[in-house]
Amino acid sequence: MMLFLCRPALFFLPSFALAIACGGDDGGVSLEGDENFGGVVLDDDGPVAGATVSMFGATPPVTTTTNASGEFAFEASGIDPTIHVEAPGHWGSLEQLRWDGMPRDDFEFDLPSDAVVDELGSSLGRTVLTTNGILVVEFARGDYLGAESASIDVSSDTPFTFDANDDPVESDTILSGAEEGELIYTNVAVGDTNIVVTSDGQTACSLDFDPEFDGVTVSILTKVITRAVASCGAL
């Protein structure tokens, strides 16, 4: 079961850049070059046609819909946008993107269906309400050793992560030996929340889009999964 971005197991998430060959009807926008942004929206069954993709950071904000192959494209000159993707019967996704030299035309968004989110909630003994949001704090792979942690300043369920068998386990720290490093908060109160990331003293962590500080404020939206990425390095 795949619940979030690009994760092959229960929940979603690691890499955006999967070198997807985007074709088909892209609304007349070329996906080549540094001035455009594009990709594809998928769920467990394949491409999601008719998904709404909004790009904030442009003036005015830009919105488009995916074609029959789940593909979309924007004209996006010189900005690092926040992307909001939503589709009926799915949980939406809110992502802040940084280019850092990566191609701008190969982003993949996997939207979890309502049924997938419900099944995950049941496996944890909780009900995930569509009136709240979900927050995923992903600790970038590489130097993380386990025991990295995050906290938020609004109400939510107890966070969970994945163990070495890729099973969800309630925990407020990353587990040593796990393949991926994500802390997932369900039933997060809608509104702004401050995230603080910490480590076990052997690594130093900061959120990618606010590298000068340990904490950053993000927006939690109704029935939307908000993703924040923390980079960790060995001290």
Mean model confidence pLDDT for the chain:
77
Instruction: Count the residues in the chain.
Output: 235
Comparing CA positions, the residue from 231, 223, 235, 230 lying closest to residue 114 is 223
Supply the pLDDT for residue 143: 53
Supply the pLDDT for residue 55: 84
Token couple for 121:
């909630």
Comparing CA positions, the residue from 2, 34, 45, 37 lying closest to residue 20 is 37
Spans of all domains in the chain: 1-123, 124-234
Dist. CA 80–CA 84, nearest whole Å: 13
Which of 137-141, 144-148, 149-153 is predicted with the least confidence, judged by mean pLDDT? 144-148
1-123 and 124-234, same CATH topology: yes
Comparing CA positions, the residue from 87, 2, 71 lying closest to residue 37 is 71
Name the CATH superfamily for 124-234: Outer membrane usher protein FimD, plug domain (2.60.40.2610)
pLDDT band at 165 (very low <50, low <70, confident <90, very high): confident
Q: For residue 55, with 0-12 CB atoms within 10 Å meaning exposed, 13-18 middle and 19 or more buried, which class applies?
A: buried
pLDDT digits 0-9 by tens, 73-106: 887 666 667 889 999 999 999 987 765 555 566 7
* CATH class of the region 1-123: mainly beta
Three-state DSSP class for 71?
A: strand
Dist. CA 91–CA 88, nearest whole Å: 8
Three-state DSSP class for 84?
A: strand
In 4-137, which residue ranges form alpha helices assigned H by DSSP? 114-123
pLDDT digits 0-9 by tens, 175-224: 877 777 889 999 999 999 999 888 766 667 777 654 445 567 888 999 99
pLDDT band at 163 (very low <50, low <70, confident <90, very high): confident
78 vs 225, residue with greater confidence: 225
